[in-house]
Structures are given as C-alpha cells and as structure tokens.
Structure 1
Amino acid sequence: MQDRPNILIPISVLEGESIPEGVPELLANAHVVLLGYHVVPDQTATDQARHQFEDQATRRLDDFAEILEHAGAIVESQLVFTHHGQTTIDRMAAEHDCLAVLIPNATRPIETVLVAVRGIVGIDRFIRLVSGLFATNDVNVTLYHVPEENETDEDVKTLLDGISTRLSQEGVSPDMIDIQISRGDDPQAAIVDAADNYDAIVMGESDPSVATFLFGMTADQVAKQFLGPVFVIQHGEPDDDEETDTE
C-alpha cells in the first residue's frame, strides 16, 4: 500500500468556489489538507470577519470534506480568515508537508496524466505524488520534458528513464509509463499543447512561492488553457512574511 501523499486544496470558501466534478475521485488515494480561506480587507480585523462568517464558512467546508471522504480520501480541514491569501497558502502547504497544491479544475475519470519534469529538482516529490495517487489505478503516466538548449536528447532520456525506473519500484506498472521529449522556445506553451490529450497535469512550480505560482501568470495561464486539474509540486520554502490569520 502506497503512502497517501499530502495534497493541499485551497478553496476561497465564501467566494463561490467548490470541489469540481471528478476531483474527489482523483484524490481517492490522497491525504487532503482542505484549506478554506477568506481574504479579509486590510481595514477589517480577521477576528471580526470570523465572528461574522465562521458558521457559514464551516458548513461549506464540512460539505466539501464529506464529498472528498466519500470518494476515499482522508481529509484534514482548516478554516482561515486572513489579509494575505497567497502567504497563507504557502504557509499551510509547508506546515502540513504537502507535496503539491492542487488547482482543482473539473475532470472526467482519470485515465492519462502528463507529468512535466523540469529537471532533477523535486524529483522525489514527483515520484511520491505520482506513485501515491496512481500506482494502484490503471492510469497512463507520461513523463514529459522540454530540454534546455544545452541538454541533449540522450541526457533527457537518461533523466526520464531514471524516473520511470523509480516509479516502477514504487508500484507503477512499467507498461503504464511513457516518455515524451519536446523541444521549443516556450515550455509553458509546449506543456499546454501536449496536455490536450491528458486528464490531469503534474508540474513543478517556477517560483520559490507556490502561492505566486498558483495566483501568478504561469499557473493561471496553464490552468485556464488546460481546463483540467493541475498539481503544482512544491519546492521552495514559504516567505517569512508576518501574518495575523485567525484559524
């Protein structure tokens, strides 16, 4: 039995966000940290917002947790009222040792996953996430890489073959693992183009801050163009910005 990977799902709980169709089944083998957060205007105290909205937010968060648990996930919920949504997501991902943050777009039943590998950074997290979620399922995993100018196809194949071997050792069937190399000047565009034939994407963050990736141009463009769920592997440590969340 694979260890359940810790996955953070941030939900702006009072802004109409919810758990989209297909996401509960996608996370059936995960330990989900369900972060319900509400960004409070600077001029409003977080304690005041909690007093006003806590009951409503808690009911919604409990409903989402029940949906995820019914699909098989283990769920840990936390409600936060904050002035700094991005910092809160980073901090929670670090505190709960989450392998990835999920941008939870709707999906059909998962049959194919594109794993966009940028290099050797974070490979252990990629392997733990992919094997933990998909080793016991009939899911085709494509290891995908857009080489840098100084990378040869042989170098890339060596890298991807090594990851494939490690995934096999963690229980992913070798028959379900493919390798794809694509050269181009715009890795983001290449990933989006390649993802057309896949149900979900696993990719590394391009910035030390998961939240910057989640709310910034790169993640926003990938998630909007792809439309399916995107797992953003966390590599960096969160900033030490002061925060006065109420939890």
Structure 2
Amino acid sequence: MPPIGELTILIPIDVSNPDPPGLEVIDALRPFEVILLGYFPVPDQAEPALIKHEYEDEASARLARIAEGRDGVTEVLVFTHDREATIDRIADQYDCDAVLTAGDTDHIEKVLVPIRGDANVERIVSVVAGLLGRSDATATFFHSALEDAEPSQGEFLLRGAVERLTEYGIDGSRVDWKLSEEGDPSQNIVAMGTAYDIVVLGETEPSLRERIIGVFLSTLIDEIEIPALIVRDVE
C-alpha cells in the first residue's frame, strides 16, 4: 500500500501515432511519479529490432515532446508485439500503483470510484487517498446493488470505503457515496462519469492482461470519456 500522497502512475501511449495526444492529465498528476510508457506496436510477422532501428528516433521524439517541461516524468520506450504484456511488465518493473488509460483532462476536482466488491478495495481507497491528499478534490464511491444478493451489502461496502478513506485523514465532507439498485452497472458508471474528471477502477483479475481483456472493464474503458485510473491488484 503506498503512503498517502505517494503514488507511481503508469501512462501508456502509442508512439507509432504521428500525432499523439498532449496528455495534459500529466499536469494534473504532477504531485506523483509518472512513468510515461511509449509503446510502438510491432506486427506479428515483423522483427522488433528492425522496426526499432527504422522508427526509434521519431518515436523517441514524440515521447520527449509529451514529457517536455514536466518534472517527475520517467520516459520508457518499448517496441513490442504485445501491448498488454508490455504494460504489465513495465508496471511491475517500476512498482506502479495504477495505470492511466482513456480520455484526458487538465484538472482533477471530482473523482468517481466505482466499487464492485470487497476485492482490492483497500488499494483502491489508498490510491484515492493519494489523489485527495495532494489536492482539494472530492470523491464519490459508487456501487450497483444488482451485483449483490441484498442492497444492504452494497451500502455496507460503500460506507466501509468512505470510513477507511477518512482514516487516511481525508475530511469526510469531501467524500460521499451512491448506491444504484437498477440499470446496467457499466452504463450507470458511463452516465455518471460525465459529471466527473476521472474514474478510479480496480483490476478484476491479478494482472493487467486480464484486466484489459476482461469484458466489464474493457467495455467501460471504451465507452467512458474521462480518464480511467486502474488500480493494480498486486497483493
């Protein structure tokens, strides 16, 4: 568990794109250590070393332009056949707490935190504590009771997460919770996300490869417009 305010966040970006995004979100995450992973997809039939020889200079230049003028950013360039495996490996190598994917924003004032169950909740709460501990942001924990036998279980889960966050020293007035008893959980999160700057999600499996392949999170990340911070389950 990272101490409050101390987070390492991995941001993967496809540097084969001649016009990569500016990623202003890095500025919003400035208090934290950011690992900027520039990955260059290599076709299955191609040799990574040959592709690297041909494109390394321009890929490095694209990565450098994003990191330019931003302190606390570590640049990593990889030519790879397997994006997911590369993300997983680099996240392990740099002991990252979370991986940022999808969307962009230049500020983090409102944080949405869907809780699907009690797995990985402690790490999710610790990452949210880090975000709130270095800012004036507020957070809303959300749960769909459709995933539980009884709605009361969801309320118990949400209240417990809020209480745990306040134990990190976060003022309770900056945290609330919402429980849904109808609708599709994924679509509920997408709809709610329009009112927030970032969504914090937990891995559903013990690796980023399963997280990316997993139906629930893959669908959600594809549809949601705000950045998604995926908290790694590394215990």
TM-score range, shorter chain: 0.7 to 0.9
Deviation at 1:156, TM superposition (A): 2.3
Instruction: State the match for 1:7 in structure 2.
Output: 9
Instruction: State the match for 2:136 in structure 1.
Output: 138
Q: Distance in 1 between matches of 2:186 and 2:19?
A: 26
| Residue deviations 1:166-193 (CA, integer Å, cap 9, x gap) | 2122232211100110123521112112
Whichever residue aligns with residue 56 of structure 1, its letter is E
Q: TM-score, normalised by structure 1?
A: 0.83
Instruction: State the match for 1:86 in structure 2.
Output: 84
Whichever residue aligns with residue 81 of structure 1, its letter is F
Q: How many residues align?
A: 233
Q: Which runs of 5+ in 2 are unaligned?
A: none
Give SS of 1:197's match: coil
Identity between Structure 1 and Structure 2 (%): 34
Whichever residue aligns with residue 33 of structure 1, its letter is I
Instruction: State the match for 1:194 in structure 2.
Output: 192
Q: Distance in 1 between matches of 2:212 and 2:12?
A: 10
Q: Distance in 2 between matches of 1:161 and 1:223?
A: 26
Instruction: State the match for 2:53 in structure 1.
Output: 51
Whichever residue aligns with residue 74 of structure 2, its letter is E
Q: Distance in 2 between matches of 1:206 and 1:187?
A: 14
Whichever residue aligns with residue 63 of structure 1, its letter is R
Which shows bigger deviation, 5-14 or 18-27? 18-27
Q: Distance in 1 between matches of 2:162 and 2:33?
A: 24
Whichever residue aligns with residue 37 of structure 1, its letter is Y
Instruction: State the match for 1:147 in structure 2.
Output: 145
Instruction: State the match for 2:113 in structure 1.
Output: 115
Q: Distance in 2 between matches of 1:147 and 1:167?
A: 21
Give SS of 1:88's match: helix
Structural mapping, 1:15-94, within 5 Å? 15-16=17-18, 18-20=20-22, 22-69=24-71, 74-94=72-92
Deviation at 1:124, TM superposition (A): 2.2
Distance 1:41 1:91, change over 3 A: same
Whichever residue aligns with residue 196 of structure 2, its letter is Y
Q: Distance in 2 between matches of 1:115 and 1:58?
A: 34
Indicate if the aligned counterparts of 1:9 and 1:104 stay in contact, CA closer than 8 A.
no
Q: Distance in 2 between matches of 1:57 and 1:199?
A: 29
Q: Distance in 2 between matches of 1:156 and 1:90?
A: 30
Q: Superposition RMSD on alpha carbons, in Å?
A: 2.4
Whichever residue aligns with residue 138 of structure 2, its letter is N
